[in-house]
Amino acid sequence: MGDPGRSPYPEALQTGLKVRYFLGLGSNLGRKRVNLARARRLLEKNGIHILKESSEYRTQPVGDQDQPWFVNQVLEVETGLDAGELLTAVMRLEGIMKRKPVPRGGPRLIDIDILLAGRCILATPRLQLPHPRLPQRKFVLEPLAEIAPRLCHPVRGQTVRRLLRESMDQSVVERLLPKKRA
């Protein structure tokens, strides 16, 4: 049995050094693009530095088709938080944005998923890394391939570009034009 005072997350994520993560953002309620912009601001305000951001994509819902289409985006971020701390921070930010509990795949004001943490492979009751459905989800693979096409999936050993090319997901994913700044 492990030390009860010790974090269950890998040593590599507890060094106090900055760790790079890839996050998936999605919204299909309200002003979707505004929701993503607010989530990005809240991440930065909470010490989660955005290194790269994909374009925003209009995406067909997976599963329950009887709901509005999503706007999705992937961010590469850097933070001193370990994976568990980042999950707690992300869930807190979703709460600040008034996310309501919904069934998996249901409509949501904001959804922030931790997709990857470097080469970390993690399986705890709270968090699995890489995200277990990442290889099957075109709405995440397309924006991830835009900013990190050569990134290698730590379990499958394939690049994001290859995972996207071999994906069986036939859902519609359309890149949106950048919003005009005032």
User: What residues are labeled active site?
Assistant: 99, 108, 111, 113
Phi and psi (nearest 5°) for 139? -65, -15
Q: Where are the alpha helices (DSSP H) in the chain?
A: 32-45, 83-96, 138-147, 160-166
CA-to-CA separations, 89 to 32, 80, 92, in angstroms, rounded: 21, 12, 5
Q: How many residues does the chain have?
A: 182
Peptide bond between residue 130 and the one before it cis (omega within 30 degrees of 0): yes
Phi and psi (nearest 5°) for 56? -90, 145
Which of 25, 152, 12 is closest to 82 using CA atoms?
A: 12
